[in-house]
Structure formats: C-alpha cells, structure tokens
Amino acid sequence: MKARALILLVALLSAGAARAQGVEGSVFEVANPEAPRGEWRRAPSAGAFVVVHWTGRVPQLWHYKPVCLQASIGRTDGQGRFVIPAPRPASTPLFLIRDEPAVALYKPGFDAPAALRSPGEWVLVRTSLKPLERAGVLEVFAEYGCRDEEKYDLIPLTDPQGVLPAFHRALYDEAAALGVDRRPQLPMQIRVLPRSGPAPAEMKR
C-alpha cells in the first residue's frame, strides 16, 4: 500500500514538473467551397490567428480541479505554418496532471470544423453561421485567455509575435460588418505619455 502511494506521488510530481510543450502545425483553407466536399482543394491559410491554452488538473479530495496555466496567441505565415512556444506560467501547482494544449483558430469569415482536423493540421471553411450566431462566436474569442482564480479577471494572452492588437481589431471589425448590435468589448490599452505631456497617463480604447 505504501509502495503504491509512493509511486502515485512520484508520478504526480513528475507530471507537475514536466515542461509544457510548444505547439506547431499548418493551417489550410478550402479554395473551392462551392464544390462537393470530396473535391475540395486546400490552400495554405496565411494570417490566421492561433490561440493555445495550456491546461491541467490538480487532484482534490474527491475530484480533479481544472486549471488554466497560460494562454498564448500567434499567427500563421505565408505558407500557413505556425510555431507557438510554451510561455512560462506565473505559477505551476505542485501536483499537476497536464492536459494536451487546446488550439483554437480564428480568421475573419471562417470556421474551423473539428471534423476536418488531423494531427498537426487544421482546415478553415467559409462560415455558414447567421450574423447573430457569428457575433456570439466573436465574443467568445474576445474572452480567450486564462483567468485569475481569486479575482476571476482575464489574464491577457501571451503575445510573442505582437499580433494581439490586430486580433482584437479583426474581431471588432468583423462584428461591425455583420450589421448586428453585438460587438466584442476591446480591452483597455494604457499609453504612458512623456513627462512633458499634459497628463501622466492616458487611457483609450
């Protein structure tokens, strides 16, 4: 019994100490969506946004508590490729069982059906959602990121490529083009002015 408990403890410690893995892959989009599905042609999807969440589970007395460790955003290159390194989380629980990174794709006007996904590859198709339904999807994307467990505040996506402002703007612009009164709330940006400026700081949307 003691040996089994020791093995379990070592396994949990190993899972907690394991370093999160980066994520890479290719994104394509259907070039001829009007054709039957069996005749679809794929083309590399440049400029698609890729959001990755690194998550895990912490053992509790009678259940596992899900935790979000960190989330990051990147964008595909001209060949539809992306590489998103795993960011260093603010803190990692001691007893942690890591889950596979969750990958979500966004490109204005496109959906990423799970049925078209294969290992390391994602396929985008033109969205068939109604405007109000699509606006709801955009609101969900705007809330991507981990949340502070105590305050439940949204922790911004890690942004090694500097694409987060373009991501938020694309969400807002697409929602505006839908013609519905339902648009994602863009996060506040703080710009610090020089000391010679009229005010120490300015907040703007």
pLDDT, tens digit (0-9, with 9 covering 90-100), for 86-112 = 887 656 666 778 889 999 999 999 999
Domain that holds residue 115: 9-186
Which pLDDT score is estimated for 20? 67
How many structural domains is the chain composed of? Answer: 1
CA distance linking residue 151 with residue 81, whole number of Å: 36
H or E segment and range at residue 103? strand 102-106
Q: Is residue 3 part of a domain?
A: no
Residue 171 lies in a domain: yes
Residue 73: pLDDT band (50, 70, 90) is: very high
Does residue 81 sit in helix, strand or coil?
strand
Asked if residue 106 is part of any domain, the answer here is: yes
Answer whether 175's CB lies under 8 Å from 183's CB: yes
Alpha-carbon distance of 166 to 91, in angstroms, equals: 28
Pick 58 or 112 by higher pLDDT. Answer: 112
Flag whether the pTM goes above 0.85: no
Residue 203 lies in a domain: no
The pLDDT tens digits for 119-140 are: 999 999 999 999 999 999 999 9
- Asked whether residue 58 is domain-assigned, the answer is yes
Which residues are CB-contacts of 133 (< 8 A; sequence separation ≥ 6)?
none
Position 33 in a domain: yes
